[in-house]
Structures are given as C-alpha cells and as structure tokens.
Amino acid sequence: MIKFLDLQKITASYHSEIQDAVNRVVSSGWYLLGNEVKTFEEQYAAYCGSSHCIAVANGLDALSLILRAYKEMGVLQDGDEVIVPANTYIASLLAVTVNHLKPVLAEPEMITYNLDVKEVEKLITPRTRAVMVVHLYGQCGYSNELRELCRKRGLKLIEDNAQAQGAFYHTKRTGNLGDAAGTSFYPGKNLGALGDAGAVTTNDAILAETVRTLANYGSKVKYINEYAGQNSRLDEIQAAVLKVKLAYLDSDNAKRRQIAHRYLTGIHNPRIVLPAVQTEEGHVWHLFVIRTAERERLQQFLQEKGIQTLIHYPVPPHKQAAYSERNEEEYLLTEQLHREVLSLPISPVLTLTEADTIIEAINEFR
Ligand SMILES: *Cc1c(COP(=O)(O)O)cnc(C)c1O
C-alpha cells in the first residue's frame, strides 16, 4: 500500500532532533510566548525575507488576523470586498467572512489553476479593497501584473501561503510578495508542525504589531487590553519542532521536485492532464494534481493497485452548505476542476521506486 502521505515516516526522519527540541521545552518550564517562538519567528521571517513574522495558532487565524488588523487600522470596513479564488480551500473564504467582509470569487486560469489577473481586474468594484492570492498546490500565484494591478487600484495584496512555503517568484520567496501573508503549519503542509500552527509575515511594522496584539487578547502590556482580541498563540513546543524542520525545508522541497519531475516525464496517458510548471523554483509541489474526466474510475483503479489518492477539493466553497446563500452562483471552470482533479502521493519520504509504481499504474489506465 502506498499511502497518500506518510506523516509517521516524515516525523521519523527527524526523530531524535524533534525529541531533543521537545525535551528542551518540557524541562524549561516555559510554554508560551518564550524564546522558542521568538527564535522561530526570526528564522521564518529571515527564510521568507520578510521583516516581521508573528507566529499564531493556525493558518486560518493567520489570514483572518491580517484582515482583522486592517480593520482595526481603518484600512478595511465591514462589507468591503476581497477578491479570492473560487477554487481554494474554504479557509481562504472563512478568513474574509468571519471579518464581515465580502469574498468576491474569481475563476482560475486553467493552466496553473491560480488567479487569472484579467479575471481579477473584471471583478474590481468601488468596494474592492484587497485581493487574496492563494499559491495553490505549491505553485506561486503572484505576478508583477497582479502587483501592478493592485497598486494602480489601491488594493492590498494578501498571500495565502499555506501550500507554498519555500517557493520563489524570481528571487523573492512567497510570504514576502504581497502586503502580508498568512501561512499554515498544519502537519501535512510542506513545513508542518506536530499539531496546529500558523504565521503571518509582512514588511509592514504597524500591521505586524496590530496582528501580534490582536492574537494575544488585544494586549501589548499584560492586563491592558487595547482591542477585544483573541487567543491565537503558537506554543513553545510547536515552535521548537518547526525550527528543526525549517532547517530541512529546502531539501525536503527538492525531494518533492524530484518526485514531480519523475511524474512529469514518466506519465504518458492521453486521458490525463498533467500539472503545468511555470518555473522550477516557483513550485514546491505541496500537491501533485492531475486532471481527468474519469476521475472516479481512475481513483478506484489506483486504489485496487494499492495506491492511495485524494481530491483537493471535492466541493468548491460556493457549493458548501456553509455558504448556502451562494449555492446558486456558477463558476464553471472552478466546478470543472472540482470534478476532475486527483492528487497523487508526493512527499519528501515517497521513494522513486514508489513513484515509478504509480507511473506504471497510471500509464496502464485505459
Ligand atoms: C491549510 C490551508 C489553510 C488553513 O490552515 P489551517 O492551519 O488548517 O487553519 C488556509 N488556506 C489554504 C489554501 C490551506 O491549504
């Protein structure tokens, strides 16, 4: 059986370093807002090339705290519109709606499945204040054209970098491309904790301070509350684990690239559309997503050969009961993607032999 993602094997590859890091925190007696979080924030900011990093409890909080901070700063107001990809994980939208802002959904560009700048431009109204770019499946969705459009129209550009830690746009990393970025260190992400974790990165000092304050009960000085904030802190144990894994992120991403390259050169089947790569360094292969009109049959076929696959994602946000008021809206490209996509196993611990088994099976599919 080839698992879709073998987290046990991934963790085992760092076992002794993780054990040491956890033991260090356990015996320190200091579990929150301490040196592990502080040094992780410094290291992750340096990795992205950003001036500030605020570690928070998870990726959804990271994104929603950015928008909340913009509201506290007077940049955003209730009812303002934020353009978000229609084909994303629901967290991107939840961050918008939880802040009483309106997600305006953009159809993807069908080569990379990322934001289509022309589509974004069409959706801009006098109420638009921000664009959220999601680097879907690990491929950078940012472009100079998008930046220029946002600059011209006075829009904040927010990155959802949950799936693309380590990817580049030219010489700059994702997480340092827009005005602010939210990321997730959910265990299955390219940089994954052993539990929930997330972070905001930005070069805006005021935004950084506002996010940090909001995430800690709206308080800078203990027992003095400036905002009706929330509790979204990263704990010391997760920060210590993330420091261990951050040191290997580039080499782990290189292993993902090697698997992706194997798939891209080995899979030859007219029924299957392979993912397109814009630039090598712009893709960190969080997921390797193929498309086929016969998705259910292919998934079943691979399952019978002991190959586990997943679907990212089976139902788009606008068709979810959570957004029932939008269920009648139509986003045809997005809906097509949700019918056709299938994610193959890819991770730093998947072997090339396993990849070859998967390639052979897919090439046999008729
Ligand atoms: C995982 C993910 C999130 C949310 O992260 P959590 O840590 O699970 O809250 C947000 N956006 C995208 C695109 C994701 O893949």
Tokens of 311: 């679907």
The span from the CA of 150 to the CA of 178, in Å, is 10
Count of C-beta atoms within a 10 Å radius of residue 31? 12
Distance CA 56, CA 282 (A): 26
Q: At what angle do helices 249-266 and 236-246 cross, to 10 degrees?
A: 60
Q: Decide whether any atom of ligand 1 lies within 6 Å of the 161 Cβ.
A: no
Segment 208-248, tens digit of pLDDT: 999 999 999 999 999 999 999 999 999 999 999 999 999 99
Q: Which of 64, 133, 160, 174 to mutate to test the pocket of ligand 1 (most atoms within 8 A of CB)?
A: 160
Distance of CA 210 to the CA centre of its chain: 22
CB of residue 87 inside a 6 A radius of ligand 1: no
Question: DSSP string covering 158-188, please?
Answer: EEE-TT-TT-EETTEETTSSSSEEEEE--TT
184 lines ligand 1 (CB under 6 A): yes
Our answer on whether the CB atom of 60 is closer than 6 Å to any ligand 1 atom is yes
Question: What is the rounded CA–CA span in Å between residue 359 and residue 162?
Answer: 28
**Which candidate, 203, 87, 109, 213, places its Cα nearest to that of 156?**
203
Residue nearest (by alpha carbon) to ligand 1 atom 4: 59
Calculate mean pLDDT across residues 352-363. Answer: 98
The span from the CA of 361 to the CA of 201, in Å, is 41
* Cα 90 to Cα 218: distance, rounded to the nearest angstrom: 26
> How far apart are the C-alpha atoms of 107 and 105, rounded to whole Å?
7
Q: Is 165 in the pocket of ligand 1 (CB under 6 A)?
A: no
Give mean pLDDT, residues 135-144.
98
Ligand 1 center from residue 366 Cα (angstroms): 35
- The answer to whether 9 and 348 have CB atoms below 8 angstroms apart is no
Tell me the HSE value of 104 on the side-chain side, using a 13 A CA sphere.
18
HSE-CB of 231 using CA atoms within 13 angstroms = 3
Quote the CA–CA distance of 337 and 340 in Å, as a whole number: 5
Question: CB of 163 closer than 6 A to ligand 1?
Answer: yes
Q: Tell me the pLDDT band of 4, cut-offs 50, 70 and 90.
A: very high
User: Scanning the structure block, which residue is given the tokens 């539990």?
Assistant: 195
Summary mean pLDDT of the chain? 98
95 CB under 6 A from ligand 1?
Answer: no
Give the per-residue pLDDT at 196.
98
Give nearest CA residue, ligand 1 atom 5. Answer: 59
Report the 10 Å Cβ neighbour count for 70.
Answer: 26
Pocket of ligand 1 contains residue 37 by CB under 6 Å:
no
Q: Within 10 A of 280 (CB to CB), how many other CB atoms are there?
A: 10
137 lines ligand 1 (CB under 6 A): no
* 146 Cα–ligand 1 center, Å: 22
- Tell me which DSSP letter residue 345 carries: P
Atom in ligand 1 nearest the alpha carbon of residue 197: 7
pLDDT of residue 26: 98
- Nearest residue by C-alpha to atom 14 in ligand 1: 162
pLDDT tens digits, 53-71:
999 999 999 999 999 999 9
Residue that is written with structure tokens 């030219």 in the block: 170
Token representation of residue 93: 């939208």
Task: In whole angstroms, give the CA distance from residue 53 to residue 240.
Answer: 15
Please enumerate in sequence order all residues whose Cβ is within 8 A of that of 6, keeping only pairs 6 or more positions apart, or say none.
347, 349, 350
193 lines ligand 1 (CB under 6 A): no
Phi, psi of 141 (to 5 degrees): -100, 0
- What is the pLDDT averaged over residues 196-204? 98
Helix residue ranges, H only, the chain = 7-12, 15-28, 35-48, 59-72, 91-97, 117-123, 144-153, 205-215, 236-246, 249-266, 295-304, 332-340, 352-364
pLDDT of residue 45: 98
As a whole number, mean pLDDT of residues 273-300 equals 97
How much distance in Å is there from the Cα of 280 to the middle of ligand 1? 23
Counting every residue, how long is the chain?
A: 366
